[in-house]
């Protein structure tokens, strides 16, 4: 934690076995307008751990290597997020 003390980040990626424990750290180092990306956000306890921060959430479901069930990766962000600022880019995908 000493290496990131006082620094803020646009994107924080959480993966690994200690996801729930990393939620408060991720929330504290996130820049305004940034987002947290959770791999395997369907794991038990993650949604409950991040709920107090009142982030908005976008889920992406799909296959996972070596696992027959679908997995979920989620993006959590405050009201504004640089990824979703340009709504025109989303419209062009349709």
In this model, does residue 89 exceed pLDDT 60?
A: no
Kindly state the DSSP code that residue 8 receives in the 8-state scheme.
-
Question: Where do runs of H (alpha helix) occur along 29-79?
Answer: 46-50
Q: pLDDT by residue (tens digit) across 4-59?
A: 768 899 999 998 888 889 999 999 999 999 999 998 887 788 888 999 999 998 89
Burial grade of 16 (CB within 10 A; 0-12, 13-18, 19 or more): exposed
pLDDT of the residue at 3: 64
In this model, does residue 94 exceed pLDDT 70?
A: no
pLDDT mean over 74-86: 81
pLDDT of the residue at 84: 74
What stretches of 1-94 adopt beta strand conformation (E)? 9-14, 30-38, 56-64, 67-77
- Topology classification of domain 7-92: Rossmann fold (3.40.50)
């Amino acid at each position: 934690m000493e290496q990131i003390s006082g620094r803020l980040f646009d994107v924080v990626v959480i993966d690994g076995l200690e996801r729930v424990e990393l939620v408060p750290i991720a929330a504290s180092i996130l820049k305004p307008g940034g987002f947290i990306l959770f791999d395997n956000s369907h794991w038990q306890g993650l949604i409950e751990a991040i709920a107090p921060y009142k982030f908005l959430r976008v889920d992406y479901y799909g296959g996972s290597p070596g696992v027959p069930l679908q997995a979920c990766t989620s993006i959590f962000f405050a009201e504004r997020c640089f990824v979703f600022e340009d709504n025109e880019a989303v419209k062009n995908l349709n």
